[in-house]
Amino acid sequence: MSDSVPEAHVPPRRAEPGPRVSAEAPDSGVPAGSGPGPAEGVPGPGDEPAAPAPLGVPRTPTGDAEVDAHLERLADADHLATDGHVEVYEDVHRGLRDALTALDARPGPPAPPRS
């Protein structure tokens, strides 16, 4: 008896029908891509990355001033380029982790006396 499992036959996927692309530029009679225009791989004037914009994610207050301050810090990422988000997220994560650690460090009520 063999422990190997035969591989299942998976039929190849067919390409989905899509819009037809003409080899000629519309109404010009010139093959597409042969006329003057931006070189392939060279960014054109409209290829600039979009400016940072707020996502508009609501931040509901938790009732803990320290935690709320860290969560409000997330709004700083709204005005930064994507590569600046990591610093904000790490800072907020560090602050929230410290707030949770502080909860464990607080002394609780005294233990009941043993009888």
Domain extents for the chain?
A: 65-105
Q: Which of 19-23, 49-53, 67-71, 99-103 has the lowest mean pLDDT?
A: 19-23
| Tokens of residue 29, six digits | 């009679």
How big is the chain by its Cα radius of gyration, in Å? 30
The pLDDT value given to residue 12: 59
What is the arithmetic mean of pLDDT over 46-64? 81
pLDDT band for position 94 (cuts 50, 70, 90): very high
Q: What is the pTM of this model?
A: 0.48
The pLDDT value given to residue 105: 80
What is the arithmetic mean of pLDDT over 15-31? 54
Higher pLDDT, 13 or 100: 100
| DSSP letter string, 59-110 | ----S-HHHHHHHHHGGGGGGS-GGGHHHHHHHHHHHHHHHHHHHHHS--SP
